[in-house]
Structure 1
């Protein structure tokens, strides 16, 4: 019988396996938010010629999504890949496109063993990548540090698993549970360090979302303003069922530079639509929720996923935040509690830290000067 007929059984992960996989996961962070519809994956090629293991090739999914990490790492390793171990943060792809699948590339390069982390729920892969490797005679050790590897690509995984983007709701909250003053424009709640962290979150997401009320009252830019990272600004989307957005607003005036989408109903004023379109604004037609008259969020998110959007950062106001929370659409939640007290004229946050602790799982907590940063995730069964 040939090697193709005798798949090598999975081996147990070693301490070195976990060490190199941890390094690969850190390396994958490099292009998070920059790989279009593909996830940011990393690959390390490691060989041991008797003097201890050493990295001879490394790769991360290229900006724009191609080439994949395995291709980049194999090219760097060259002939040193033969007989080596590949550490891949996501199951190697198995489908043919303009180039052969990465699983086949690993076999052809003579890799002896593949250690992978997260499984790929894409139905074109989902176990098929590992099957190609085993059929090619490679030893396969799957799901090493799978949870840690899934974190940087959670949006991609959510899009394929749930047919919608991953939703992160982020709000700055005063000490008395307010997020702003109705009709009063922006209220400064957090300091410079927490604000910089917010801009970093923007850079990691495909799209940032606000409601029409926030767009009108705050006239935000919704970009990434960290030094050297202006090109990491996400696409922008405004929930505006009645098309209240005006051409003089910042989001409309800058639409030619930063892709800006307005989610609106088909009944929206065609003249306003045409005027905004001339400035570069794009539109997505939405259905109305029959109970509220607002945009039906599940259908909108399904449409966004169909275009390859994997992650959406919601920075909308109280009404928008409540809509996502009420629809059980929030996968991750960030609440930043600043030292400011707004008072009775303030707009109440749709969720506070105490309620979030009951509904979500607290995963991280930081202090940035006087600001208290809480990160929550959806509870799993």
Structure 2
């Protein structure tokens, strides 16, 4: 199962709206004869890829699958049926699929065909791997990851606006790896106007893993000449419209802007979930980051801290939250910490 989880992670960020699944087929003698993982775009599925490799050698063997095999007819036939037809004798899964089209039906179909079924093996690892898919299925919105890169005193730029580069090369490379494993990367219009970013993955060999780019442009300020509007990969504009920029976008998601951010943003992310996104990485700026924290939409926070102090006149990474009492502050839970060159990365999840 550990090998299947490793395979599943290979195309993480490339398979939405489907989950990233891995499958390992072992023959009756205990030899691995088939391996598969969900392909870009969400198909072919992991099970069919592994069964194709295994061929007749998989008959009577065991399939290790990171998520319950699908049981519904979509753009491809059910994987549960494929496992039965291939003569698999035993199926070990990590998680049941909460998707109502599956939700136990895949395992029931296997059992009905006489296949021995075991579930819950390395379930926590499988849950972490597909936290985006699971969040979308259970809440209707994608899993939201906020990334901040600041000085020790929480500044993202000097008072003159200089920000390149606060963190070092290793931290920036880690940030690009995050981009490669998310379905979309989001910024606010202020970041586009201030930095004109490309929002691509620029790690050698992973350039093709650049995610969809989301621009939150509630007031219609982004020009059509911005780099995110003129270069690949696809860009979605969220907010006011139509504008010159939104007309050029691969997709325009328009949500009525005459409401406060605490109501507007949840509606936006529900629409992003309907569009199929499961994992969204938010990189800036301070206004968007603060609004997401205030709305309770941040599921995970990657905070990169550089060993420098900029001072109170620098640009803060978090805008005012109007917190009068500590009880009204945004609570988080530290779940990890590591060093990247001279920088420190702190990982936070929702408060327990």
Q: Is the 8 A contact 1:287 1:295 kept in 2?
A: no
Aligned partner of 2:324 in structure 1 is none
Normalization by structure 2: what TM-score? 0.92
The within-5 A match list for 1:325-340 is 325-340=293-308
- Distance in 1, Cα, partners of 2:103 & 2:168: 44
> Greater CA radius of gyration, 1 or 2?
1
Give the direction of change, closer, same or farther, for the CA distance of 1:113–1:248 in structure 2 (3 Å limit). Answer: same
| Cα deviation, residue 340, structure 1 | 2.3
> Aligned residue for 1:369?
341
The ranges of structure 1 where at least 4 consecutive aligned residues each deviate by more than 3 angstroms after the TM superposition are 277-282
CA contact (8 A) 1:186 1:217 kept: no
Instruction: Say if 1:118 and 1:143, in contact at 8 Å, map to a contact too.
Output: yes
Number of the residue aligned with 2:18: 38
Residues 219-258 of structure 1 deviation map (CA, whole Å, 9 limit, x = unaligned): 111110000111111111111111111133221222xx22
Q: Would you say 1:290 and 2:259 are equivalent positions?
A: yes
SS in 2 for 1:226: coil
CA contact (8 A) 1:181 1:187 kept: no
Q: Aligned to 2:95, which of 112, 118, 127?
A: 118
Deviation for aligned residue 1:295: 7.6
Q: How far is 1:121 from its partner?
A: 1.2
Q: Give, in whole Å, the separation in 2 of the partners of 1:211 and 1:161.
A: 27
Q: What SS is found at the alignment partner of 2:194?
A: helix
Distance change (3 Å), C-alpha of 1:129 and 1:264: same
| 3-state SS in 2 of match to 1:104 | helix
Partner of 1:314: 282
Q: Any unmatched runs of 5+ in structure 1?
A: 1-20
Distance 1:298 1:143 in 2: 32
Aligned to 1:260: 235
* Aligned-partner Cα distance in 1 for 2:211–2:263: 22
In structure 2, C-alpha distance between the alignment counterparts of 1:30 and 1:281, rounded to whole Å = 26
Paired residue secondary structure (1:329): coil
Could you say if the C-alpha distance between residues 182 and 223 of structure 1 is closer, same or farther in structure 2, counting changes exceeding 3 Å? farther
Write out aligned runs for 1:349-364 (5 A): 349-350=317-318, 359-364=331-336
SS at match of 1:364: strand
From the superposition, tell whether residues 160 and 183 of structure 1 become closer, same or farther in structure 2 (CA, over 3 Å): farther
Quick one: distance in 1 between partners of 2:307 and 2:196?
A: 24
Offset at residue 281 of structure 1 (A): 5.6
Question: What is the CA distance between 1:183 and its match in structure 2?
Answer: 6.3
What is the CA deviation profile of residues 74-125 of structure 1, one whole-angstrom value per residue up to 9, with x for unaligned ones?
A: 1111111111111000010010124321111111111111110022111101
User: Shift of residue 278 of structure 1?
Assistant: 5.9
Aligned length: 344
Say if 2:25 is the partner of 1:25: no
> Is 1:171 equivalent to 2:143 in the alignment?
no
- Compute the displacement of 1:65 (Å): 1.3
Q: Deviations over 1:1-45 (max 9, x none)?
A: xxxxxxxxxxxxxxxxxxxx1111111111111113111101001
The answer to whether 1:241 aligns with 2:218 is yes
Report the Cα distance in structure 1 between the residues aligned to 2:303 and 2:16, rounded to whole angstroms: 27
What pairs with 1:6-155 in structure 2 (closer than 5 Å)? 21-49=1-29, 53-155=30-132
Quote the residue 1:208 is aligned against: 185
Match of 2:350 in 1: 378
> In 1, Cα distance between the equivalents of 2:258 and 2:124?
35
Deviation at 1:288, TM superposition (A): 2.6
Change (3 A) 1:182 1:259: farther
- Which runs of no fewer than 5 residues in structure 2 stay unpaired? 320-326
TM-score (norm 1): 0.85
